[in-house]
Amino acid sequence: GIQVEQSPPDLILQEGANSTLRCNFSDSVNNLQWFHQNPWGQLINLFYIPSGTKQNGRLSATTVATERYSLLYISSSQTTDSGVYFCAANYGGATNKLIFGTGTLLAVQP
């Protein structure tokens, strides 16, 4: 079936370090989104990136649709970056529902 896999499952960083989170998806996608879930549970939109590269401040993302993966880069990490990062793929169909990965739990230590 349709799958979205994320790695690593958890990650501990020292403040100021860089990191790369990976998302693999099993089929061609209409859309891929990256979210940050904050400690209160809110899903914050980071990137809407079905293909190509986007940057927003210290964060950037690249999706290589032909190879079915997406990468989220976090540079100069801060303690406020801590939380769970989800990627979610929209495989189209009638609903365009999102299929979520299991997330990467990031802890940034001061």
Partner 1 sequence: GAGVSQSPSNKVTEKGKDVELRCDPISGHTALYWYRQSLGQGLEFLIYFQGNSAPDKSGLPSDRFSAERTGGSVSTLTIQRTQQEDSAVYLCASISSGSGYEQYFGPGTRLTVT
Q: Nearest approach, Cβ of 92 to partner 1 (angstroms)?
A: 9
Is residue 48 within 8 Å of residue 29, measured between CB atoms? no
Closest to partner 1 by CB, 13 vs 91, is: 91
Q: Nearest approach, Cβ of 14 to partner 1 (angstroms)?
A: 28
Supply the DSSP symbol for 23: E
Is residue 29 within 8 Å of residue 90, measured between CB atoms? yes
Is residue 110 within 8 Å of residue 17, measured between CB atoms? no
Strand partners, 56: 59
Binding site for partner 1 (CB under 8 A): 30-31, 33, 35, 40-43, 45, 48, 86, 88, 90, 94-100, 102-103
Closest to partner 1 by CB, 2 vs 12, is: 2
Q: Nearest approach, Cβ of 5 to partner 1 (angstroms)?
A: 12
